[in-house]
Structures are given as C-alpha cells and as structure tokens.
Amino acid sequence: MKCFRKRKFVLCILTCNVVFVIVLYYFLQTERTDEDVTKRIPSYSVVIREFEDYDNDVSATVYHIHNVLGNHVPIYIVTDHSPYPNIDFTRLNVQAIFNLDFDLDNNKRHTDDEILDAITSEYVIFIPDGARIHNKTIFDRLIEDFDHSKFSQAFAVKTGSDKLRCPGLQINLQRWRLKITEFEGFEGLCDYIEGDQAIIVRTTTLTEIPSPWTVPLTKSLYIQFIVKRWKSFVYVPSVFVPRKGFRDPSSLERFKYEQKKREDKLFRKFKIKELVYKIDEDHEKKFYYGCDKHTERCYSSVINDLPDFLAMGKWTPPCCLKALRETADHVLKIFNSTNVRYWLEGGSLLGAARSGNIIPWDTSVDIGIYMEDIPKCSQLVKTGNYEYQDKKGFLWEKAEEGEFYRVHYSRTNRNYVQIFPFYLKNGVMTKDFWFKTHKQDISFPEHFLTPLSLINFIGQNVSAPNHVKAFLELKFGKGVIENLQYPNGAPVY
C-alpha cells in the first residue's frame, strides 16, 4: 500500500512537470507568433536620379518598378533641368518630380531640403535608368538584409553584367586631394565602389551629407561617405537583371563625354583639385581640377604673410604647387644654361632640406643670384622696367616693391618664382630691398656661397649654400628644419 502511494505521488509530480512544460512551450510559441505577426516592415522609396535627355528608358523603368513592387511604392524623379526632348511625366505614376535647375526668372528650382522633406520613408534606393528587378521576393530580401545591417551606411547592388569593384579611396581635404588606390576586392565593406549599381541608403543618411543629389551620383555619395568615415557594402545576391545599353549606339560616346564634364564639375564643387590614381607601388596618374596657365591661380590674396587658404585650414592647392614647380624648373634651366650663379633662398631652401620639395603651404619659390650675373640672363635684361613674356608663356617682370624680379606661370596665372639679386659688401652678401615682415630676410657671410653646394629640389639637383643647416638656422633660428611652423608661427601637427 505504501508502495502504491509512493508511485502515485511520483506520477503526480511527473504529470505536473509535463503540464508546466506544455504551458511554457505554448507561451513561448505564442510570443514568437505575436512577434512574427507584428514584424516590422521597413518603408522605402525609389529615386531615379540619372538619365540622359537624348536616350533614356525612364517611362518603362517606372512602369516596371510598379509592376514588380506594387503601385504603393513611392517613386521620385530628380533632374538637373527639364529634359529635352520632353518626357511626359504627367502620364507616369510617380510621387514627385524635382527640378534642381536655377533660373532667375522663375521659382521652380527645388532645394535639397525640400526633396528630403518630401521623402518620408525609412530608406531610399537609387535605381539607375533602365534597371530591371528579378522579382519582388528577391527585392524584399534586399530591404530586409539592409534593415538588419549594422556596419554599413549603404548597400551597392550590381545592375550591370560585371562585378562591382572595391578600390581604396583616400581623401585629404587639407591638400585638396582625392586618391584612388588599386583594386582591393569585389565584395565586403568598402570606401568606394565602382561599377553599374543601385544604392540603398537610410533617408537620414542623406540628411547628414552636404550634397545628396550631386552627379555622378555614386561617386558623389562615396566621396561624402568617406569624409564621414562611413563604409558601404557590396551586396552579392543577384537582385537586378543586367541593364541594357543605349538604344542608339552613338549615344555611348556622347554619354562618356557628358559624364566626364559631370565629374569635372563634381570635383570642382567638392574642391578636389588633384585626383590621383595609384597604378602600382611606383606609378601614379594625376589629374588637376584647379587652375592652369589659362586661368587665375586658386587663391586670392596673402595678407600678413598668411594666404587665405591657410586661414581655411588648407594647404597650397596642388595645381598651384604644380605651377610653382614648372615655373621654378623653367627658371633653373635658364640659369644653368647661362651660368648664372644662383642658390635656393628662404622657405624654398627650407623645403628642400626637409623633403626635397616646396613646402606644402608655400606660395612662391625664392632664388638668390649674384647681381653682377644679371647680364648673363637675357630674360632679366629684357625685363628691365617692363614685362617680358618668353616663348613658353612665362611672364618676367621687375617687382613694383623693390629691386627684385618675379617670373609668373603665365600672364593670367600669377603663381611665381622670386629672384633676389645679392651683391658682396665687406665680405657679406646683401641686397637693396628687404621684406620687413620676413625675419629671415637678412644679409649673410659670403663663405656660405664659396663654394656653392647641390641639394635635391623638385626632382633635380640645384644650387644651394654650403652648410645648409647652419645657413637656415642663421636665417630662421635653431632647429628650424625639424620644427615645422606656419608663416604665422603656429606649429604644424
């Protein structure tokens, strides 16, 4: 009897445990089901930003998107101007058409803020003209995957036949420079993604960058992302059918020409004055988007030895440094061929001692010569009190401030080399004009020039005083080579 009661008690305990497990399982299942029922469905909008007036597929692209994704998906079209030939936007089921064009005689131009205020969805996907989606299931999976992403600011999805490429991108706003390195891969987190692509971003992302609609769109977005230190992700699953090309074969050449103009405009707008493509460890290809011989230099003035770009926290624009190097190279070749005794002076000698180049924030190249050697140089003789433009377009002139010369990159572009004539007096090299604000502009013993030495500067060996460090410390003070300072005395970090 006791045994029976004991077994009954154990059975009761086991029954209670089973009931508890069933109830707990039911409860958990109910919670998960409720979670599934209330699962968040992210909202998104489609933006068509880039298409060509002369050859486009905008109407068919809009119809396709609504046919695959549904008419409830908002589609926005953003243009730089009213297309010509005209596109009958009134027949398209789009949420809004925004025109960024500016015209003094009307108020039709939309601003960036107006466009962003109109887009109320969580995400924006930029779909290129002519793109075709495989199906809604695949597209919804893209949205869901992006919704769960934590480390990337954008997903890039290929819309062409080729894989998307992931080169490195470095931007140095202080030096006005954008550098694209060799290809580093085809997928994963990237700074910059090349190739035919759609891009999905959070709408809030577009509100945090200064120019969300600038074209070429992908290049513009990635440049702005890298300034923010944001990463983008190459989304590998196939979402789009490879895009077809232009209907008219001749449109491709026109597109390449127009796209190059847009890139030039983009770099100038973003104040990128030097684009560098790193080909390999030893070779780079450079393109300049600032000044040239036919345009004015990229900065306006120098006040109290401080150029305006330094006041903005930037260094000398690369195009201006290029102009200085070319002008200096031209002058030095003439002096070498005519046996004019010359040497690097001031900040130019300091730059040569530090790095073999012009100081990155300098605005001129300074050269000293023996005054008695002026007759050896026909360009200086011809200059006299008048300007003289030589056969290569460099402009020689006598400075208005005093007894020295300037050689400008061109009559229009006034980046210049300064030539200071010195003469010997009581064993000291002196001259007839001094910059009162330049503490380093002082006379010095001739023994620094007897003999002259050589130093590397802008890729060549040029004349310099002997005992360069002692000469520079006489002019600038102890430790000047090691201690970098701006013209106003502030240290360089």
pLDDT at 183: 66
C-beta of residue 426 within 8 angstroms of C-beta of residue 338: no
Q: Distance of alpha carbon 258 from its chain centroid, rounded?
A: 20
Instruction: State pLDDT tens for residues 71-96.
Output: 999 999 999 988 888 888 778 889 99
Q: Which of 290, 425, 299 is nearest to 370 (CA)?
A: 425
Instruction: State pLDDT tens for residues 135-178.
Output: 999 999 999 999 999 889 999 999 999 999 999 899 999 999 99
Residue given tokens 């007894």 in the structure block = 403
Domain ranges of the chain: 44-168+184-241, 316-476
What letter would DSSP give residue 339?
T
Percent of the chain with pLDDT over 90: 74
What CA–CA distance (Å, rounded) separates 168 from 184? 7
C-beta of residue 122 within 8 angstroms of C-beta of residue 203: yes
Q: Distance of alpha carbon 268 from its chain centroid, rounded?
A: 9
Kindly tell me the sign of the dihedral angle through the C-alpha atoms of 60, 65, 68, 72: negative
The mean predicted confidence, pLDDT, of the chain is 89
Greater confidence (8 vs 345) lies with 345
Q: Global pTM?
A: 0.84
DSSP letters of 121-159? Answer: SSEEEE--TT-EES-HHHHHHHHHHHHH-SS-SEEEEE-
Collect all residues with Cβ–Cβ distance below 8 Å to 157 and sequence separation of at least 6. 142, 197, 198, 199, 200, 235, 239, 240
Indicate whether 17 pLDDT > 70.
no
> In this predicted structure, which of 68-77, 274-283, 358-367, 409-418 has the lowest mean pLDDT?
274-283
Instruction: State pLDDT tens for residues 19-41.
Output: 443 333 343 343 444 444 456 77
For domain 316-476, say whether CATH 1.10.3210 is its number: no
Q: Which of 273, 242, 274, 269 is nearest to 80 (CA)?
A: 269
Taking residues 469-481, report their average pLDDT. 96
Indicate whether 249 pLDDT > 70.
yes
Taking residues 252-263, report their average pLDDT. 96
Q: Which CATH architecture has domain 44-168+184-241?
A: Alpha-Beta Complex (3.90)
C-beta of residue 358 within 8 angstroms of C-beta of residue 351: yes
Greater confidence (429 vs 440) lies with 429
- The Cα diameter of the chain in Å comes to 135
Question: What are the backbone dihedrals phi and psi of residue 439, each rounded to the nearest 5 degrees, phi first?
Answer: -65, -25
Taking residues 59-79, report their average pLDDT. 96
pLDDT at 184: 64
pLDDT at 201: 98
Q: Is 342 left (phi over 0), alpha (psi -120 to 50) or beta?
A: beta
Amino acid type, 282: D
What's the Cα-to-Cα distance from 485 to each of 319, 349, 467, 477, 488, rounded to whole Å?
Answer: 22, 15, 22, 12, 8
pLDDT at 16: 52
Q: Edge-to-edge strand order for the sheet containing 167-172?
A: 167-172, 177-183, 274-280, 283-288
Q: What is the CA angle 386-389-393, rounded to 5?
A: 160
pLDDT at 311: 87
Greater confidence (111 vs 457) lies with 457
Greater confidence (363 vs 306) lies with 363
Cβ neighbours around 97 below 10 Å, total: 18
Greater confidence (3 vs 93) lies with 93
Indicate whether 256 pLDDT > 50.
yes
Q: Structure tokens of 345?
A: 């002076």
